[in-house]
A and B are shown apart, each in its own frame.
Chain A
């Protein structure tokens, strides 16, 4: 019996073996390195977008617009207004017929030709000639400036005091004030600043969760389907329990996701701190995160993790059902739709966090990680509501884990071409005694 005394590896140890194998093989894989690199490059590019645009712009000359007008006064005013407002194009007084101006536009000497004439009242009116509608901002700009010139001229003509005009155009005073609780309690309603920064955080978390579930849910399902396709699965489940393997995979790939997110945020942080001169305020202010309470941060982490585990368990279960990797996408479709629906509900809820649909969704497991976090971030809601939502989530994850583990155990031994609900039942049957 001495042979039985050979050192045994505890089940927990095997969990870590599968966990680290999953993590390392994913981190070292070419596809992971390439996608991460592309994303990082994208972040750096986006942060430097202005310099990139300037790089291309500076090579060419400044765009010029030919202006044909008989009124020297209008031309002077337009030119001085454009220079004063730092416009990115120039105008030039074109001393010829409009036909010649149009030709010059066709020859690309000018981007557009502006023909300013005078109405019977002595006010300017204009026709904008261009080859296409591609430079709408230039057109808008010209229209706006001319509009103001016209208003000025019209007021001068009617001899109205310019002070009256200024008075008319001045915005009215409109302030919002919260009513303090009458019994002297401190107000728990979030301030305007807090709300807008919370909105920023909610937006970031929503997007992260959406992105994580879609890409890493797929990765989990693919990984399991791959092990099934290559039939290495049967050896794996004969050496360690499928349930521990399933969770080792979910957490391993979860860590891969975290690694990627940390890399993105890290590079984002570096890029933004470097460009601090251009941006007012620091990194957290940039994302509007500086005013957020600690509890919101903690809830963000809780709901993010719970949301990930919920969808990951579902993905692992589905991955164990397919026998060919080609079928993974098909089975993952409903999962993707669920998270898209959750995303839509919360996007809508960003402006109306207390609408019924958001409130109801915040108790429905697939939507609650997003919907409840939205409410927690934007509103002041009683703790029992948050607790209830978290409990429902945990219970659902536990249920999925139990069912998922059984489906996994049966599913990994099941090979067939069809992918339907019948497989689900078959897998459950395989894993139990009849």
Chain B
């Protein structure tokens, strides 16, 4: 059940939205798509779902092309949320569930379970327009997963939710993965990707700029983060060779260094200058990697 994109390109007139994207999304995993707005994430999803035809390249799932005969096995949460505002949650999900090949009774049972799971059982017979935006999003999420898809595509699933609900949905996503669903999700929040994914793809201007196992990416990046807290002025650290960047705080500094050896040189210099509260060598965050790779400020 591998989802495979090979040399996929999508052009809108003279504009290239996705440029030679090749990906292999392994089964039973959460795969992260990262990128700024307009990087080509949504276009890629739409091509995977066969809503748009790619200009060139092939997309296969389990060796077959994706068409409407497989739509019952696929779940989709679009970036632009939308439900029928005037329909009750129950009727809404019955219609959408039927379109994904479910029977009415089955939908009601699953819907009851999911509403309880997301702690909103009271919304069963409410019209969607009466719900808050966050709650509408939960309903939308249910509509994407109610038919137990084998492939689930979530476009910015956590945007616009409060932290409590983000946690609720994250748990649900992990649970779905454990029950055998392959999940592809996009976000511009690095920490969500870092937390949930084993594999990721970073996109910029339609091109994949990073792709692979998340630990591998971090290891091969080389550069490390060094965070220091000390009772004296740390300005001199910037002039030490091997230090790439320093961000100063009131009680210390966060340095990016070429490799871990540099940290020892810094340590030598710190000694004897005063009281050092914290000296910690850390893996780079995805954010750091992204900024480095993309070569521009981000979020």
A433 touching B73, Cβ below 8 Å: no
B99 touching A18, Cβ below 8 Å: yes
Interface membership of B127, Cβ < 8 A: no
- Which residues of A have CB within 8 Å of B144? 235
Closest to A241 in B: B68
Interface membership of B180, Cβ < 8 A: yes
Interface membership of A237, Cβ < 8 A: yes
A235 touching B96, Cβ below 8 Å: yes
Question: Which B residues, 27 to 56, have Cβ-Cβ distances below 8 Å to chain A?
Answer: 46, 49, 51-56
Interface membership of A434, Cβ < 8 A: yes
Question: Interface SS of chain A: helix, strand, loop or mixed?
Answer: helix
A231 touching B68, Cβ below 8 Å: no
Q: Which of A9, A14, A237 contacts B51 (CB 8 A)?
A: A237
A7–B84 CA distance with the chains assembled, in angstroms: 27
A232–B80 CA distance with the chains assembled, in angstroms: 9
Question: Which A residues, 312 to 347, have Cβ-Cβ distances below 8 Å to chain B?
Answer: none
Nearest CB of chain B from residue A213's CB, rounded to whole Å: 26
- Which residues of A have CB within 8 Å of B81? 231
Closest to A18 in B: B99
Nearest CB of chain B from residue A397's CB, rounded to whole Å: 23
A235 touching B180, Cβ below 8 Å: no
Central interface residue in B13, B56, B82, B143, by most chain A CB within 10 Å: B82
B68 touching A429, Cβ below 8 Å: no
What 0/1 readout, one digit per residue, does chain B (95-129) give for beta carbons within 8 Å of chain A?
A: 11011110000000000000000000000000000
- Which residues of B have CB within 8 Å of A14? 99
How many A-B pairs have beta carbons closer than 8 Å: the answer is 86
Chain B contact residue count (CB 8 A cutoff): 38
A239 touching B100, Cβ below 8 Å: yes
B72 touching A8, Cβ below 8 Å: yes
Nearest CB of chain A from residue B249's CB, rounded to whole Å: 42
- Which residues of B have CB within 8 Å of A434? 10-13, 55
- Which residues of A have CB within 8 Å of B143? 235
Nearest CB of chain A from residue B191's CB, rounded to whole Å: 27
A11–B55 CA distance with the chains assembled, in angstroms: 26
What 0/1 readout, one digit per residue, does chain B (50-89) give for beta carbons within 8 Å of chain A?
A: 0111111000001000001101111010101111110100
B residues neighboring A (CB under 8 Å): 10-13, 46, 49, 51-56, 62, 68-69, 71-74, 76, 78, 80-85, 87, 95-96, 98-101, 143-144, 150, 180
The 19 listed contacts between A and B (C-beta, < 8 Å) are A7-B101, A8-B72, A17-B98, A230-B82, A231-B80, A231-B81, A234-B51, A234-B76, A235-B76, A238-B74, A238-B76, A239-B96, A241-B68, A409-B51, A429-B12, A433-B53, A433-B54, A433-B56, A434-B11
The 6 closest A-B pairs by CB, nearest first: A231-B82, A9-B101, A239-B99, A234-B78, A434-B11, A232-B82
